[in-house]
Structure 1
Amino acid sequence: MTQDAPAERAQGTEAAEADTFTVFLCGDVMTGRGIDQILPNPSDPVLYEAAVKDARGYVALAEHMNGPIPRPVGFSYVWGDALEAWSRRAPAVRLVNLETAITTSDEPYFKGINYRMHPANLPCLTAAGIDCCALANNHVLDWGSAGLLDTVAALRSAGVVTAGAGRDLDEAAAPAIVEVRGKGRVLIFSMGSETAGAPRGWGASAERPGIFWLDERSPAEVRRVLDTVRAARREGDVVVASIHWGPNWGYEIPEEQIALAHALVDVAGVDVVHGHSSHHPKAIEVHAGRLILHGCGDFLNDYEGIRGYEAYRDDLTLMYFVTLRAGTGELAGLELVPLQMRRFRLHRAARADALWLRDVLDREGARFGTRVALGEDGGLLLRWG
């Protein structure tokens, strides 16, 4: 596939070449709750939260903030300007962390927040051309094992491959495999950490459905993950480790997460560490020529109008277009497209907002030697080395 070259190239890279391809990554995608309610086939809106008992309440909060949202919207509505960005860059692989069960199960796991999208709203994901959903997170079991199995089955029936969850540990730990024509295989592992709120009991076992669970603070868990990834990788594969780790808010990155990311690259042969869970973008690192995203920030959610964390600007989000060298997985370039959520729809961010994100990423990336430059079209370009 082809992609347009960014207006400005990152340091240490050249113009797009025949031996490169682009992978799209982003943070958490939450198509449940308020988002589900504006789609053509909403689920039962009953919630089991302390403050909000009806999912339509989140729609009302968003409308109070930015104005009326039409209902029902078309399946592509929520993606807004992201659709043009995808079309222009034509990534070979589109990977998201899906933090929503796709199910009609009415048996919630009582944990405070339960995300659910009706299976008839699945075209919302296919409208975005998603190739793979990482599922090892703290919401895929919000509606129990039945909800998890429904989610996997629904996605696979739509031609979307999954990683990180399954009927048993073997299935949950197995990578999703995406073949890129003329470039080789992309292996995608998905892991969910206790540090991001995934309970230990959600971990899959030989007899129990669940997620590929880990605790990066445990040397034994880290060894298990490294061995699993290394055993699946073949010469010439490009490997992505998609990890749900760390708290929702704050820019601090624990040393255990840095150590795990480095070990995945150095020991297991991972080419991209795709970190998520934070509701705002965190630092970007390049280690041994491999990209480490410590936290991508949310991509799509129903938080519009919720107060309390305005300083983090969680209304702003990023599209990560990662250009890799086929056969080696070496980072050739990273372009970031800033967006803003308004009326449950992604809009191209204003220049001032793009500059704010640039400054945050510069500040947080300084410890890792990365910088971000503003491109001619308002996009952001990573520089390193």
Structure 2
Amino acid sequence: MSGRGRIGLTGDVMLGRTVDERQRHRPPEAVWGTALDRLRGLDGLIVNLECCLSTRGERWTRTYRPFHFRGDPGRAIPALDAAGVDCCALANNHVLDFGEVALEDTLDHLDAAGIAHAGAGRDVDAALAPARAAIGGLDVAVVSFTDNTPEYAATEDAPGTAHVEIDVGNDDTRDRVAEALSRAREPAPDLLVASLHWGPNMVEEPPPAFEAFGRWLVDRGVDLVHGHSAHVFHGVEVYDGAPILYDAGDFVDDYAVDPDLRNDRSFLFEVRTDADAAIEEVRLLPTEIRDCRVHEARGDAARWCRERMRERSEPFGTEFERDGEGLVVAV
């Protein structure tokens, strides 16, 4: 398949804790707030699912974990379905917060709902397997990796995440990622996405190693790099015709808000492809989290998002056009 498409990408979608409590008393689609119509108008949606989906399991205690995120699948799956989520990146530092049984439940619930997923599995081979999704007229392949929480890494005989070191000089990383990309190309997709949960929290820019890794992925055929983890959005780079979203920030959660970094503000990133399935532009719609819902940001909040995005993207030479409350970058 090939052709025009409008694919949305978001940062962290955390449907546990207070978000889950609020969802007990409101319709499934309520978590998407005023962004719901925009999400439903897309051809497809890829998110980082920052929690497990289960009613089982015990909190991870083998190593110190300050936070544990688990959403009730009876509420979370209808919410994901209401927004039209096609694929969840699972390579992150929360899918094993309630142990192996909760991770396996997450996989089963997503499979039953027809939502593709990548980055975690019942063993390392499954964790490295690409997701495939038909989005509009496009065949999209997604691979997902994380450098967070090495104790959550899948092994040959234990569930977990697709864990790698973000270092292009690391032989194991190159081999593991190259294997995953090779699998994702069989058969050749229209669009190959690498979704990365990388780096520390509450930082405003990627380190040089991440820049090198993102470009290395593009050099190996990745069409779009989808970064997340910092809870703060980073700049956008267009490298050799491929957008690198270094960090998409937070999309919906219940986290405490830093008054300077404003981790409650980010964007819905909308990637548009042309008739030949090539990415032609990325549209950035400012968003803001309120009352455990995501909303389209307006006025001062949207202005803040635009100004920070321009500042954080300037080192990459990225130039944006204004589009209403949002921004557009040509590819």
Q: TM-score range, shorter-chain basis?
A: over 0.9
Asked if the contact 1:361/1:372 (under 8 Å) is kept, the reply is no
1:167, 1:143 → 2: CA distance? 15
Q: Which residue of 2 aligns with 1:164?
A: 119
Residue 317 of structure 1: which of 258, 262, 266 is its match? 266
Q: Which amino acid aligns with 1:144?
A: G
Asked if residue 380 in structure 1 is aligned to residue 327 in structure 2, the reply is: yes
Residue 246 of structure 1: which of 199, 221, 234 is its match? 199
RMSD: 1.9
Q: Which amino acid aligns with 1:219?
A: N
Residue 149 of structure 1: which of 95, 104, 108 is its match? 104
Residue 118 of structure 1: which of 72, 79, 93 is its match? 72
1:346, 1:214 → 2: CA distance? 31
Q: Which residue of 2 aligns with 1:363?
A: 311
Structure-2-length-normalised TM-score: 0.92
Q: Which residue of 2 aligns with 1:215?
A: 165
Q: Which amino acid aligns with 1:165?
A: A
Unaligned runs of 5+ in 2: none
Asked if the contact 2:7/2:135 (under 8 Å) is kept, the reply is no
Q: Which residue of 2 aligns with 1:266?
A: 219
User: Could you tell me how far 1:250 is from its partner in structure 2?
Assistant: 1.5
Give 1 or 2 for the bigger CA radius of gyration. Answer: 1
1:383, 1:237 → 2: CA distance? 19
Unaligned runs of 5+ in 1: 1-17, 41-71
Asked if the contact 2:184/2:192 (under 8 Å) is kept, the reply is no
Asked if the contact 1:226/1:264 (under 8 Å) is kept, the reply is no
Residue 29 of structure 2: which of 54, 63, 76 is its match? 76
Asked if the contact 1:358/1:373 (under 8 Å) is kept, the reply is no
Alignment of 1:1-385 (within 5 A): 19-40=3-24, 72-87=25-40, 90-110=41-61, 111-121=65-75, 122-180=77-135, 183-193=137-147, 198-217=148-167, 219-223=170-174, 224-233=176-185, 234-267=187-220, 269-303=221-255, 306=256, 309-325=258-274, 330-376=278-324, 378-383=325-330
Deviations 1:133-171 (A, max 9, x none): 110100000001111101110111111111111111111
Pairs aligned (count)? 324
Q: Which amino acid aligns with 1:85?
A: R
User: Could you tell me how far 1:326 is from its partner in structure 2?
Assistant: 6.0
User: Could you tell me how far 1:260 is from its partner in structure 2?
Assistant: 1.1
Deviations 1:234-276 (A, max 9, x none): 4453100000001111223111111111111102x10000000
Structure-1-length-normalised TM-score: 0.80
Secondary structure at the residue paired with 2:251? coil
Asked if the contact 2:287/2:294 (under 8 Å) is kept, the reply is yes
Q: Give identity over the alignment, percent.
A: 37
Secondary structure at the residue paired with 1:26? strand
Q: Which amino acid aligns with 2:42?
A: P
User: Could you tell me how far 1:334 is from its partner in structure 2?
Assistant: 0.9
User: Could you tell me how far 1:184 is from its partner in structure 2?
Assistant: 4.1
> Closer, same or farther in 2 for the Cα pair 1:357/1:76, shift >3 Å?
same
Secondary structure at the residue paired with 1:296? coil
Deviations 1:189-210 (A, max 9, x none): 11111xxxx3223211221111
Q: Which amino acid aligns with 1:189?
A: V
Secondary structure at the residue paired with 2:260? helix
Deviations 1:15-59 (A, max 9, x none): xxx93212110100000000011122xxxxxxxxxxxxxxxxxxx
2:275, 2:152 → 1: CA distance? 35
